[in-house]
Structure 1
Amino acid sequence: MLNKIAPTILVIFFSLSLSAAISKAEKDVLIKLNQVTGGSKWTNKWDLSQPMNKWYGVKVVDDKVVSINLKNNNLTGRIPVEITTLLNLQELNLSTNLLNGEIPLNIGNLKALQILDLSFNRLTGFIPVSICTLPNLQALVLDRNILSGELPQQIGKLTMLENLSLYENSFQGALPASFYELKSLKSLSLYTNRFTGKLSPAIGNLQLLENLNLFDNDFKGQVPIELEKLTHLKKMNISYNLFSGQVSNKLSLLDKLNMTMRNEVGNVISLPVIKG
């Protein structure tokens, strides 16, 4: 009987030890986050003597950190690279703080991540290519930072992405070809950046799109008639770009500013509307 019990006890002991080790490693990462982002001055502070599931904005399931939501909590400093070792993390929301520096390059390690919201901070640099390797990402929200560069060429690999919001940054360049493969996309907000190039007729592939906002960029060329194929589209603003040519009455009425554009010398113009 003892021979049968002993292995069972060893298995239980090993499992508890492994669980404890994982918990200790993840706890160390959160302590690091607290230290480097001015935890003593947070609006909602952590009592590090309490269990992790008692810490404000932290959700723990099965002894694993699955969510960190520290929105509007007076975080300062940089995002520690160690945060990318929380492999069970499904949500990371550090929005509406005073964070600076760059998005960790290996953010793509967080394969379970579904929501990444770093909006309304002071982040600089570009979108790491590794973000495109997040198979479960549903929301990428980076609004109102000081981010720049082009969208990663592989962005179309985010097949689960429903919300892409990058407004009020300094992104530039044309939308990559793979962008038009984001067929789960429901909301796209790219307004007030420096995007250029033509909007591909492949925009018609985004059949689930409900909100499209490209306001105040430098997109040019013809407004794709394929936008009319987006039957779920409820809100659209593509004005104050460099689009030219005629547009249908349907698209003109759908656009918030009725297709008011800028020309090459900066003058405000209205695109001619095809009646009927």
Structure 2
Amino acid sequence: MNKKITLILIVLFSFSVAANVSQPEKEVLMKLYQTTNGNKWIKKWDMSLPMSQWYGVKVVDDKVVSVNLKNNNLTGRIPVEITTLLNLQELNLSENLLNGEVPANIGNLQSLLVLDLSSNKLTGNIPVSICKIKSLKSIILDRNILSGELPQQLGNLLELQMLSLYENSFYGQLPDSVYGLKSLKSMILYSNKFTGILSSAIVNLQNLENINLFDNDFKGRVPLELEKLPNLKKLNLSYNLFSGLVSNKLSLLDKLNMTMRNEMGNVVSLSVIKG
């Protein structure tokens, strides 16, 4: 008798979960499944199961709070409907074959903490609306075909800890507002087309642990203010157009070297201040 009661309760609970999750949220995930060719995913969704049991989906209090479909053979475009999941805290579609642009209204996801769309084939710019998500802690868009200048409004993301944009085609100068991201721990921008100087205002980023600007077109002096970043552990400024002298402390910190390119494209090494 007890076993039968337990079984009945499990079945009732399953139906309860399925019924309580809103139909609009379920329709959004079904749209994601269809748009990204879910029938070819490595781990597919069984639509007969409650959403809380779908692979990579986390449901809390009948709301979808996480979609993590990393390395699951998603193809096609990211449907704009995904920006209606207003309780979403994590969106991880990395290491797939997605193309097209990041949805322009991604900024609707006001609860988002982690956005990871890395290692796809995404094109276009970073939508300005992303700068409205003041809760964001990680923007991970590396290894795509993204381009354009970084939005000036990026400085609105005061909770941002990780900015990873490497191996894209971003260009232009870093927005001044970036130097106000006081929570930032990692700024990984290597292998892009960034230009301009690295401002002495970088001293404001006291939580920085990792700076990687390798293989860009930054120029001017290497800011001595980098020495004043107490948590800095990794620094790679090589293969830029920096010139002048580098302090001994910074030269030791650089995990690769201080090898630069000059205006002619020749490889040169920066001199280290002795003492």
Report the TM-score range of the alignment, normalised by the length of the smaller protein.
over 0.9
1:146 matched to 2:178? The reply is no
| CA displacement at 1:49 relative to structure 2 | 1.2
Match of 1:267 in 2: 266
Match of 1:168 in 2: 167
Match of 1:224 in 2: 223
Match of 2:240 in 1: 241
Q: Where does structure 2 lack aligned partners over 5 or more consecutive residues?
A: 1-17
Query: What is the distance in 1 between the residues matched to 2:113 and 2:252?
Result: 35
| CA displacement at 1:22 relative to structure 2 | 6.2
1:49 matched to 2:55? The reply is no
Query: What is the distance in 1 between the residues matched to 2:130 and 2:168?
Result: 18
Other structure's SS at 1:148 match: strand
Query: What is the distance in 2 between the residues matched to 1:249 and 1:260?
Result: 14
Query: What is the distance in 1 between the residues matched to 2:227 and 2:64?
Result: 44
Match of 1:121 in 2: 120
| CA displacement at 1:224 relative to structure 2 | 0.4
Query: What is the distance in 2 between the residues matched to 1:270 and 1:152?
Result: 32
Tell me if structure 1 keeps the 8 A contact 2:179–2:204: yes
Match of 2:182 in 1: 183
Other structure's SS at 2:227 match: helix
Other structure's SS at 2:268 match: strand
Match of 2:192 in 1: 193
1:209 matched to 2:244? The reply is no
Other structure's SS at 1:154 match: helix
Tell me if structure 1 keeps the 8 A contact 2:20–2:62: no
Query: What is the distance in 2 between the residues matched to 1:145 and 1:267?
Result: 28
Match of 1:15 in 2: none
| Residue identity in the other structure for 1:264 | E
| Residue identity in the other structure for 1:94 | L
Q: What is the RMSD of the two structures over their aligned residues, measured on CA atoms?
A: 1.1
Aligned length: 258
Task: Give the 5 Å matches for 1:3-152.
Answer: 23-152=22-151
Other structure's SS at 2:22 match: helix
Tell me if structure 1 keeps the 8 A contact 2:36–2:77: yes
TM-score of the superposed pair, with normalisation by structure 1 = 0.92
Deviations 1:136-164 (A, max 9, x none): 10000001000000100110000000000
Q: Kindly, what percent of the aligned residue pairs are identical? A: 74
Q: Where does structure 1 lack aligned partners over 5 or more consecutive residues?
A: 1-18
Other structure's SS at 2:139 match: strand
Deviations 1:191-219 (A, max 9, x none): 00000000000000000001110000000
| CA displacement at 1:257 relative to structure 2 | 2.8
Query: What is the distance in 1 between the residues matched to 2:131 and 2:249?
Result: 35
| CA displacement at 1:259 relative to structure 2 | 1.1
Other structure's SS at 1:44 match: coil
| Residue identity in the other structure for 1:271 | L
* Segments of 4+ moved more than 4 angstroms: 19-22
Query: What is the distance in 1 between the residues matched to 2:256 and 2:64?
Result: 45
TM-score of the superposed pair, with normalisation by structure 2 = 0.92
